């Protein structure tokens, strides 16, 4: 039998897999061995042909003689590290854009509809027909995506029918002839920021992106424009954002500099800020999409 060993433990309930999630793999002929802690997984290391896990340390690879693949749902390598010897590939989930694009569209409509203010009206049971009148049709507005990669492309596809224009910015623009979305390099930001009605940040973490959206860049944004962070929190800090909240229409943050965001962070009490707990990819469908991808990559057990 080909053995798949799993260590799918996570703080987020939607990210914890169980026997019903593994059923499609079992149906392909794989033997599923579930583990709930590191010790148990490592004790069975010599039997594992594949591992499904959130975490995999660099030091573990040498203990897994038969290991052919590490499958992890995460898009990045923060938790499942790559094999220093290069022997075992790590297969990352590639469906995050499919999930996140719905959260991004939802957030843009939410801010465009002045929902932070509408929520306060609702809490006060106020029938206020003035607030909504500040909304402009999304179909006449533009979206600038900073950190335009795989996820950005999926977001752009979903946003395009609803907005006037989507523009991408990335460190190394690979503008192809057939691309429908114009893509610029970082140097283009100085001219693009003053034009965008909505700025969507999808930058990865790491020291390269620390305070990427700094005071200078935030100041260049159009008066009343909205900013969204669905990448990593280090790229847009509270220190830089807070003084600009009068200039901006508002901010929707799915990620923050430290997570969980401290209860005493002033971000929680701003009138035009809304915060979600790094949850843009948290859907009931997450587990199914992961297993579908593993099935597609593995095929039938030999």
Binding site for a second copy (CB under 8 A): 11-15, 98-99, 102-103, 105-106, 109-110, 112-113, 115, 118-119, 121-123, 125-140, 158, 161-162, 259-261, 263, 268, 274-279, 282-286
Backbone torsion region of residue 174, taken as left when φ is above 0, otherwise alpha when ψ lies between -120 and 50, otherwise beta:
beta
Burial zone of 232 (CB within 10 Å; 0-12 exposed, 13-18 middle, 19+ buried): buried
Are 268 and 261 in contact, with CB atoms under 8 Å apart?
yes
Supply the minimum distance, in Å, between the C-beta of residue 36 and a second copy.
Answer: 19
Supply the minimum distance, in Å, between the C-beta of residue 91 and a second copy.
Answer: 22
Please enumerate in sequence order all residues whose Cβ is within 8 A of that of 45, keeping only pairs 6 or more positions apart, or say none. 60, 63, 64, 65, 67
- Nearer to a second copy by Cβ, of 70 and 163: the residue is 163
- Nearer to a second copy by Cβ, of 14 and 32: the residue is 14
Supply the minimum distance, in Å, between the C-beta of residue 263 and a second copy.
Answer: 5
- Nearer to a second copy by Cβ, of 70 and 112: the residue is 112
Q: Can you say how many angstroms the Cα of residue 160 is from the centroid of all Cα atoms in its chain?
A: 19
Supply the minimum distance, in Å, between the C-beta of residue 47 and a second copy.
Answer: 32
Q: What is the dihedral of CA 17, 92, 89, 149, to 10 degrees?
A: 180
- Nearer to a second copy by Cβ, of 16 and 44: the residue is 16
- SS3 string, 182-239, reads CEECHHHHHHHCCCCCEEEECCCCCHHHCCCCCHHHHHHCCCCCEEEECCCHHHCCHH
CA-nearest of 206, 143, 196 to 171 is 206
Supply the minimum distance, in Å, between the C-beta of residue 162 and a second copy.
Answer: 7
- Nearer to a second copy by Cβ, of 103 and 237: the residue is 103
- Nearer to a second copy by Cβ, of 78 and 102: the residue is 102
CA-nearest of 209, 218, 159 to 190 is 218
Supply the minimum distance, in Å, between the C-beta of residue 137 and a second copy.
Answer: 5
């Amino acid at each position: 039998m080909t053995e798949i060993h799993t260590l799918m433990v996570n703080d987020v309930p939607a990210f914890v897999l169980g026997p019903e999630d593994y059923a499609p793999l079992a149906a392909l002929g794989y033997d599923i061995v579930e583990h709930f802690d590191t010790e148990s997984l490592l004790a069975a290391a010599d039997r594992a042909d594949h591992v499904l896990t959130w975490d995999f340390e660099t030091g573990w690879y040498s203990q897994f003689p038969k290991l052919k693949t590490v499958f992890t749902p995460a898009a990045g390598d923060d938790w499942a590290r790559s094999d220093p010897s290069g022997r075992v590939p790590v297969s990352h989930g590639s469906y995050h854009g499919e999930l996140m694009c719905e959260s991004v569209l939802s957030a843009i409509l939410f801010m465009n509809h002045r929902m932070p203010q509408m929520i306060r009206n609702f809490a006060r049971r106020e029938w206020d027909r003035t607030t909504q009148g500040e909304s402009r049709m999304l179909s006449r507005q533009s979206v600038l995506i900073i950190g335009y990669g795989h996820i950005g492309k999926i977001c752009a596809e979903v946003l395009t029918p609803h907005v006037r224009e989507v523009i991408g910015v990335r460190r190394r623009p690979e503008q192809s002839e057939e691309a429908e979305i114009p893509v610029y390099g970082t140097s283009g930001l100085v001219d693009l920021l003053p034009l965008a009605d909505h700025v969507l940040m999808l930058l990865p973490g790491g020291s390269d992106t620390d305070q990427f959206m700094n005071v200078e860049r935030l100041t260049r944004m159009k008066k009343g424009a909205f900013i969204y962070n669905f990448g990593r929190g280090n790229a847009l800090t509270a220190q830089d954002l807070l003084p600009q909240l009068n200039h901006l229409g508002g901010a929707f943050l799915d990620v923050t500099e430290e997570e969980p965001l401290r209860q005493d962070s002033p971000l929680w009490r701003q009138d035009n800020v809304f915060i979600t707990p790094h949850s843009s990819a948290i859907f009931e469908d997450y587990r199914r999409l992961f297993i579908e991808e593993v099935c597609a990559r593995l095929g039938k057990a030999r």
